[in-house]
Amino acid sequence: MKARIGIIGTGWVGTSVAFSTLLAGHGRELWLHDTRAAVAEGEALDLTDGAAFYPPCEVRAVPLAQMRDADVVVLAAGRNGRPDESRLDLLRDNARIAAGMGVALKGFAGIVIVVTNPVDVLTRVVQAASGLPPERVMGTGTLLDTARLRERLAVRLGVATQSVHAQVVGEHGDSSVPLWSGARVGGTALRDWPGWQAEDEAALTQQVRRAAYEVIQRKGATNHAIGLVTAELIGCIVNDERRLLPVSRVQDNGVALSLPALVGAAGALEATAPAMDRAERAALVASSDLLDRAFGSLAG
């Protein structure tokens, strides 16, 4: 099924999401909105000029109210992080925007994908402000962290990225939790892989956590990888693929963080905690507590 896809925010991230989504062919219509109306219109015109090179899709700028008629809405509005600024440092600036978008989407019948950072806390903000069921408001969460982990493991081991099966849960941020105990290369447990050493885990954890900072220090923002991640997530929804993906949603304890969830046309369903060792479980609890405190700080 091809869908009507809306993107709110046409900065670095929103335009990368739009570009990746068009190339993937997930939409029959792609709607762009930004408080800078001329920028949204310009991006729509620019993307339309390339229509010969992607599957048929009408691209246009629309008013915010029209987003309520979309099947999937991506929230990419907000400011980017600054060099050496954590995602949680963005919280107050972007929470106000996210809450406003949530209110605008009250009664929305589709799926909301939150991309703006800090994505976990803002997923909770949007879900609370919109009143939508938790399964229909998801953040990109640790999908990108997981992709980064797999890429770096593949390079370290000299295998294809597709042969690495590992995931990151918890916060999309400095308290993220790579699940080393369950990581596999093909059918082999990573910790049984020839030459693998325990100290590699700490080093690669830091590489994954620092990845965004390294990009921001050099070019000012991250956008291409998260654009690809978001387009993949849109495809899972519009095609009802029912894939288990580590996306952020409000969990049973009321905190929004990433756990593997069954993602399809109905949203992010049946989130479950995968097998973890004791240290990983403790780290996930700490990550959850950190995110809960961050959300609570908004009331102050």
The total of other beta-carbon atoms located within 10 Å of residue 57's CB is 18
Distance linking the first and last C-alpha atoms of the chain: 44
Residues contacting 237, CB < 8 A, separation 6+: 3, 72, 111, 113, 263, 264, 265, 267
- Picking from 131, 81, 80, 76, the residue whose alpha carbon sits closest to that of residue 98 is 76
Residues contacting 106, CB < 8 A, separation 6+: 129, 130, 131, 132
The active-site residue out of 26, 33, 165, 172 is 172
Residues contacting 186, CB < 8 A, separation 6+: 159, 163
Q: Which two tokens stand for residue 280?
A: 């990983």
Burial 108-144 (b: 16+ CB within 10 A, else e): bebbbbbbbbbbbbbbbbbbbbbebebbbbbbbbbbb
Residue 165 is a catalytic residue:
no
Examine residue 260 and say whether the peptide bond preceding it is cis (omega within 30 degrees of 0). no
The total of other beta-carbon atoms located within 10 Å of residue 183's CB is 21
Q: Which two tokens stand for residue 84?
A: 């050496």
Residue 254, SS3 per DSSP: coil
Catalytic positions, written as ranges: 172
